Amino acid sequence: MKIVADENILTLSGKKSKNINWVLKSGREITSADVADADALLVRSVTKVDAALLGDSSVRFVATATSGTDHLDLDWLAARGIGVADAAGANANAVAEYVLAALAELILEDDLALWDKTVAVIGVGNVGTALIRKLKALGVTCVACDPLQQRVSKIDYVSLEQALQADIICLHTPLTHEGPHATFNLINDERLHTMNPDAVLVNAGRGEVIDNNALLAHLQRFPDRRVVLDVWANEPRPSAQLLDRVFIGTPHIAGYSVEAKLAASQCVFNALSSHFSLDRLQLNVGAGGPLRVHDQRYEQKSESLLYCEKTDARMFASIVTRSFGLRALYRRFNDIYQVASRSDNPMDGAEVFDSIRRELTERREFGATHVHAAGFSPRLSAWLHAAGFVLQA
């Protein structure tokens, strides 16, 4: 059998299986000719899978190594009897850690008093649930907004209007265009103006959930508003003007981590094996590089500051950003992208977008960082443990 797959799905590099012809290509470059005689297609979010791609193919099964499926025409695939699988939940912890890393940057740069704020999580699927649980473990006040499901206990579910009054607003909804709870342009000009002036807006869900043109106009009028965007309208060519005005902007990498990709790959392989009644396909972990553990030592500067909450907060934020520093990543991405956006070649921006993503193939989650925490206050140690770090004396 022939399987066409995105070459950036971790563990596929060098993949060899008896009786399987693996064809690996860049996800943005997979064409209808590539899949014409294929039996299965494995993709990520960068590949649009619809009639234009598969209409004349022999593909019987499609799997995406992502949580979201808005790049798949599910109705068309179902009508053609093509099996579909996704990796829902595989990257939930990675995205939750991305949000913590963004908030850590705000603690360091703006003295954000996170533990005095209320965080509203809009969209409480796998990612929203993971984020709420992590925030609650940290002792941060949270509310949730999701009219379709209420899967987290012991938390207040509020309306969208109430959620938009929170101090920090995190968007983790799927992208939907129809129905009473459609999320396309959910955050529009009117709703941007109802938010508190000092509110932080974080979108690590789907780019088109925010009206990007309205957001740009809003930031041009109120340049001090804090916005963190990992996802954009018109990916991989987001608005250079919008990118230049946000506090943090990254090229759709919140869910990128070695751990998330391994989990997603296993989901895809399991589904593929089950669909075709194959022997269980094993992960080739070595293809993703060594699974290193980061060993870091920190010291409190002064014993008199040991139990100062502000000092603990800044120490916490410092450790988080050393593990995953988003402001430095943003500055590099923005600098290169602004130059590319002025090029006569429209592909230059897309190439920058994808090149930054490729640089993060070895990002590890917080659990891969062992922190020597001797002398830390009980509060700081508890926060680091709740975030997922491994503490050592």
Widest Cα–Cα separation across the chain: 71
Residue 348 pLDDT: 87
**Which position among 44, 172, 225, 252 bears the catalytic label?**
252
Domain that residue 303 falls in: 292-324+363-393
- Report which secondary-structure segment, H or E, holds 144: strand 141-145
Evaluate whether residue 103 is within a structural domain: yes
- Report which secondary-structure segment, H or E, holds 382: helix 378-387
What's the CATH code of the domain at 278? 3.40.50.720
Domain identity same for 212 and 127:
yes
Burial class (CB in 10 A: 0-12, 13-18, 19+), 261: buried
Q: In the numeric block, which tokens belong to residue 200?
A: 């932080």
**Which position among 44, 206, 357, 363 bears the catalytic label?**
206
What is the Cα Rg of the chain in Å? 22
Query: Is-cis flag, bond preceding 236, omega within 30?
Result: yes
Burial class (CB in 10 A: 0-12, 13-18, 19+), 20: middle
Please give the single-letter amino acid code of residue 342: R
Evaluate whether residue 332 is within a structural domain: no
Alpha-carbon gap, residue 130 to 152, rounded angstroms = 10
Domain identity same for 29 and 167:
no
Domain identity same for 121 and 172:
yes
Domain identity same for 209 and 296:
no
- Of 285, 244, 271, nearest in space to 84 by CA: 271
pLDDT tens for the chain, residues 1 to 393 = 999 999 888 666 555 667 889 899 999 999 999 999 999 999 998 999 999 999 999 999 999 998 889 899 999 999 999 999 999 999 999 999 999 999 999 999 999 999 999 999 999 999 999 999 999 999 999 999 999 998 898 999 999 999 999 999 999 999 999 999 999 999 999 999 999 999 999 999 999 999 999 999 999 999 999 999 999 999 999 999 999 999 999 999 999 998 998 899 889 989 999 999 887 665 554 444 444 556 666 655 544 444 467 889 999 999 999 999 999 999 999 999 999 998 887 778 889 999 998 888 789 999 998 898 888 899 999 999 999 999 987
Domain identity same for 202 and 166:
yes
172 is a catalytic site residue: no
Alpha-carbon gap, residue 354 to 212, rounded angstroms = 20
Q: What angle do CA 265, 269, 272 make, to 5 degrees?
A: 140
235 is a catalytic site residue: yes
**Which position among 7, 28, 71, 235 bears the catalytic label?**
235
Domain identity same for 82 and 110:
no
Instruction: State which of 223, 249, 275 marks the end of a domain.
Output: 249
Evaluate whether residue 314 is within a structural domain: yes
Evaluate whether residue 354 is within a structural domain: no
Alpha-carbon gap, residue 123 to 115, rounded angstroms = 22
Instruction: State which of 249, 273, 308 marks the end of a domain.
Output: 249
Alpha-carbon gap, residue 315 to 383, rounded angstroms = 10
- Quote the pTM value: 0.89
The residue whose two tokens read 């995190």 is: 170
Burial class (CB in 10 A: 0-12, 13-18, 19+), 90: buried
Residue 296 pLDDT: 66
Domain count, the chain: 3
Domain identity same for 269 and 220:
no
Residue 269 pLDDT: 87
Domain identity same for 136 and 191:
yes
Contact 54, 74 (CB under 8 A): no
331 is a catalytic site residue: no
Domain identity same for 72 and 110:
no
Alpha-carbon gap, residue 106 to 200, rounded angstroms = 9
